[in-house]
Structure 1
Amino acid sequence: MTSNQLPITVGNRHNDERGIITFNNEFDASQIKRIYTIENHSTEFLRGWQGHSIESRWFAVMKGKFKIGMILFDDINELKPDTKIDWFEIEEGNLDYLYFPPKHLSCIQALEPNSKLLVLCNYAIGEVQDEIRYPVEFFDRK
């Protein structure tokens, strides 16, 4: 799978006199072992680059809107500053999930104040040592 083929599992919402239900009946959560949220302190802040060789991540926006950069790698030691970056925008509303398979780095930017991102992981804390980090300035933003 290349980063241009990342699946987004599309959710939906129902609104009636009782209120709103946001759902994603197509998302299979059976692999999930850990859940956390991210709220960047400003829309100027870039949280990145971080990734994993064997772990997967799923991102869903709980509030607001996010821009998420993705870099695919085969060998983490061969990444260069001009490595291709794919950018995705996801927003609240339908509980869509953006899937990041193993061998990807991510960079996360809130596009609206007070945005909140839900992150799901398929490994528990300490289960594997798989964290890869690069300074946000290392890659050219394209």
Structure 2
Amino acid sequence: MKPKIIAGGNFSGHRGTVSYVNDFSFNGIERFYIISNSDAHPVRAWQGHKLDSKNFYCLSGSFRIHYVKIDDWEHPSKDLTIETVTLLASESKMLHIPAGYANAIESLESHSKLLSFSTLPLHNVSDDDVRYEANYWKLNE
């Protein structure tokens, strides 16, 4: 399985705006987080997941989500291809990253908020979470 965008939309009327991603299924979702990177450290990198799938939705501001397909969990290649997707609050869409990838989350604006849905129960996280140094894969700045 590969990462994919799940498109949504917005509806605005006299009562306000409703944003949605109707094709996103909550089957298998165990927990969620809201991520706000600090202005001093706008990149959260690199966190890999052997078992957990991640789903990201931008609540406010904008983010670039970078990800790599891990080839070896203990000593991954440093020349893996970095894929990048930009999520904007104004574009209601979800990014699904299946298990087997590492990701880096880069906020592009102050006060940006990212919603993250996870499929792995909290008691299994210690078996899944693999962290790499922030500069393990070099991001284009």
- Distance, in Å, in 2 between the alignment partners of 1:134 and 1:108 is 13
How far residue 19 of structure 1 moved from its aligned partner, in angstroms, is 1.0
> Which one of the candidate residues 133, 136, 140 is aligned to 1:135?
133
Aligned to 2:74, the other structure's residue is in SS state: helix
- 1:126 corresponds in structure 2 to 123
2:55 alignment partner AA? W
- Distance, in Å, in 1 between the alignment partners of 2:57 and 2:31 is 14
- 1:98 corresponds in structure 2 to 95
How far residue 17 of structure 1 moved from its aligned partner, in angstroms, is 0.9
What fraction of aligned residue pairs are identical, expressed as a percent? 28
Q: Which runs of 5 or more structure 2 residues have no equivalent in the other structure?
A: none
- Distance, in Å, in 2 between the alignment partners of 1:137 and 1:71 is 13
1:101 alignment partner AA? P
- Distance, in Å, in 1 between the alignment partners of 2:106 and 2:99 is 21
How far residue 27 of structure 1 moved from its aligned partner, in angstroms, is 0.7
Q: Which runs of 5 or more structure 1 residues have no equivalent in the other structure?
A: none
Pairwise CA RMSD: 1.6
- 2:27 corresponds in structure 1 to 30
- 1:108 corresponds in structure 2 to 105
Contact 2:60 2:111 in 1 (8 A): yes
User: Is structure 2 residue 76 aligned with structure 1 residue 79?
Assistant: yes
Change (3 A) 1:43 1:96: farther
TM-score, length-normalised on structure 2? 0.91
- 2:55 corresponds in structure 1 to 58
TM-score, length-normalised on structure 1? 0.90
Indicate the larger mover: 31-40 or 123-132. 123-132
Q: How many residues in Structure 1 have an aligned counterpart in Structure 2?
A: 139
